[in-house]
Amino acid sequence: MAFTATDPIKMIFALLLPPVGVFLEVGLKGHFWLNILLTILGFIPGILHAFYVILKH
């Protein structure tokens, strides 16, 4: 996928608050709720999933 101008902002949010980065990318869809669960279970899995979603979409 193409790298857009807003991706660096989303990546910063993904490092600080992973669900916010995912929300900015996909909205209130399944990836957002999965990321909240992963962030609660462990912060690092939430970050990794957020980067995956941002770079994949």
Q: Report pLDDT for 49.
A: 97
Residue 40 has a pLDDT of 97
Q: What is the pTM of this model?
A: 0.90
In this prediction, residue 47 carries a pLDDT of 96
d(CA 26, CA 10): 11
For the chain, the residue count is 57
Give me the average pLDDT of each 10-residue run along the chain (57 residues): 83 95 95 97 96 92
H helix intervals, 1-57: 7-16, 18-26, 30-41, 43-56
